[in-house]
């Protein structure tokens, strides 16, 4: 255990699984109190239990980040108890499809979670960060925000918005001691990827897994603890000079795929 985040309260959406869970454990190991916000209460409680086994502290809130009223209520009840020093907008959902086979419902669903969810969280938390004149916001964008990925119309739309919301928030609150950055992972091996392969390519899962691994020039998918390490750095005071930045973490996907 180190004390880099001693006394800090870090709210992580989607901390019940994948990158969010790994980030929760990483920050908890470094002294943060983790506020787990997830739709899936069982997954959230499993993360809570692991954190408590580490001897660290966490609390759990079941919440659909797409629901503005629910988010306002949950954030208000958290702020009644303690500040939110770090907000990590991690929860997100995937969708496969091009412009023609993405329905209006698909588009709305992806928008509501990936874009409005991040808006809802930032909108509810920003006032308290302004009041305390400090805070860190870290958003999960994707390589899909910066380059054209096949069959990811709605998902790319949503992650492009996460990237530009990051720039906007960083700009508007720079004089309030609030930093806002995002990371853009390539493919990371999480339940997100496994579920998506299972759902969309049930008959050739292994083949698709290998193809997705090799699409990173480095030859594999990223690991959740590699994401957590970058997120932890960006949320720490070591990164005090970094705001309004997007960090690709993609095994060379964006710049070396030629």
Q: According to CB under 6 A, which residues from 189 to 208 bind ligand NAD?
A: 190-193
DSSP string, 96-150: -B-TTT--HHHHHHHIIIIIHHHHHHHHHHHHHHHHHT-EEEEEE--GGGTS--T
Judged by CB, which is closer to ligand NAD: 49, or 133?
A: 49
DSSP, res 176: G
> In degrees to the nearest 10, what's the CA dihedral of 68, 70, 71, 76?
120
Size of the site for ligand NAD (CB under 6 A): 30
Judged by CB, which is closer to ligand NAD: 39, or 239?
A: 39
248 in contact with ligand NAD (CB under 6 A):
no
88 in contact with ligand NAD (CB under 6 A):
no
Q: Is 233 a catalytic residue?
A: no
Q: Which residue has the tokens 């006032």?
A: 127
40 in contact with ligand NAD (CB under 6 A):
yes
DSSP, res 258: -
**Can you list the positions of beta strands (E) in the chain?**
9-13, 33-38, 58-62, 86-89, 135-140, 178-185, 246-249
122 in contact with ligand NAD (CB under 6 A):
no
- Residue 194 Cβ, how far from ligand NAD at the closest point, in Å? 8
Selected binder of ligand NAD within 5, 34, 92, 234 (CB under 6 A): 92
DSSP string, 42-53: HHHHHHHHHHHH
- Residue 19 Cβ, how far from ligand NAD at the closest point, in Å? 4
116 in contact with ligand NAD (CB under 6 A):
no
The one catalytic residue in 61, 119, 155, 173 is 155
Which region holds residue 41: left if phi is over 0, alpha if psi is between -120 and 50, else beta? alpha
Catalytic site positions: 155
Residues that bind ligand NAD (CB under 6 A): 13-14, 16-20, 38-40, 43, 63-66, 90-93, 113, 117, 140, 142, 185, 187-188, 190-193
């Amino acid at each position: 255990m180190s004390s880099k985040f001693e006394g800090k309260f870090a709210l992580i959406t989607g901390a019940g699984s994948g990158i969010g869970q790994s980030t929760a454990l990483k920050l908890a190991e470094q002294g943060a109190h983790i506020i787990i916000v997830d739709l899936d209460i069982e997954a959230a409680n499993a993360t809570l239990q692991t954190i408590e086994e580490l001897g660290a502290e966490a609390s759990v809130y079941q919440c659909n980040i797409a629901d503005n009223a629910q988010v306002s209520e949950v954030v208000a009840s958290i702020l009644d108890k303690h500040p939110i020093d770090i907000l990590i907008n991690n929860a997100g959902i995937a969708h496969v499809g091009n412009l023609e086979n993405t329905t209006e419902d698909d588009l709305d669903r992806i928008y509501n979670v990936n874009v409005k969810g991040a808006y809802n969280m930032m909108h509810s938390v920003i006032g308290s960060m302004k009041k305390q004149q400090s805070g860190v916001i870290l958003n999960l964008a994707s390589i899909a925000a910066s380059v054209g990925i096949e069959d990811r119309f709605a998902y790319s739309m949503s992650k492009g918005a996460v990237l530009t919301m990051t720039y906007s928030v960083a700009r508007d609150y720079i004089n309030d001691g609030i930093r806002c950055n995002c990371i853009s992972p390539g493919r990371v091996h999480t339940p997100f990827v496994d579920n998506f392969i299972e759902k969309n390519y049930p008959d050739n899962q292994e083949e698709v897994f290998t193809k997705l691994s090799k699409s990173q020039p480095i030859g594999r998918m990223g690991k959740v603890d590699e994401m957590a390490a970058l997120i932890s750095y960006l949320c720490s005071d070591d990164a005090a000079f970094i705001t309004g930045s997007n960090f690709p973490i993609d095994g060379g996907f964006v710049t070396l795929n030629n």
